[in-house]
A and B are shown apart, each in its own frame.
Chain A
């Protein structure tokens, strides 16, 4: 059960990172925008 929650968090995190990249500049450039 706990493992499923953590796997969900990993997938959600990856999805959010990909989504933020789709919005505009790379997330890594956060301080230079």
Chain B
């Protein structure tokens, strides 16, 4: 069988494959024949797989290639359904849990805000002397004591806010980096 005959037979066995696959295949076989130095009219050596068997191999490969993505897709679909099912099952626990987390965060931020408002009012408490209109020694000592205490506590705890903010942002960025590395 000559090279031209071989390729003609191969083409006839593979009528049903796409034009793209056929073009790739012909280029592949022509390269092989060129490398072996077989011209169009030369005989194809017997050690090269016959056209029928070669065609079957090509068909098997194309079949495998086209089915693989489908399998993946169906697996993805199954996974999606599983995730939806899990989400539905998690709702009775998840919603109260999320509400709890949000309310705890809200409560903590309210607490911090209230403490700071209290400390500011404490620092401003000597102004009450003006409202009271009396100038007894013990009242003045008490109110200035409150003021010093408020200023001292504010001075000690205000710098902690940016520090806590930086620590939190550092922790979040670290977590994000770890998650990305794992993914």
Contacts and interface: CB of A to CB of B under 8 A. Distances in A.
Do A and B pair up? The answer is yes
B142 A5 contact: no
Contact of A9 (B142, B143, B152): B152
A10 B122 CA distance: 12
A13 B156 contact: no
A18 B141 CA distance: 9
Contacts of B151: 6, 9, 13
A10 B142 contact: no
Interface residues of B, number: 22
Contacts, number: 76
A21 B150 CA distance: 18
6 contacts: A2-B155, A6-B152, A6-B155, A13-B145, A13-B152, A20-B142
Contact of A6 (B143, B144, B156): B156
Contact of A12 (B132, B138, B148): B148
Interface in B101-144: 128, 132, 134, 136-139, 141-144
A10 B139 contact: no
Interface in A1-33: 2-3, 5-21, 23-25, 27, 30-31, 33
B156 A16 contact: no
A4 to B, nearest CB: 11
Interface of B: 128, 132, 134, 136-139, 141-153, 155-156
A25 to B, nearest CB: 8
Nearest to A11: B152
Contact of A16 (B134, B141, B155): B141
Contacts of B141: 16, 19-20, 23
B113 to A, nearest CB: 21
Contacts of B148: 9-10, 12-13, 16
A27 B132 contact: no
A15 B145 CA distance: 7
Contacts of B147: 13
Contacts of B149: 9-10, 13-14, 17
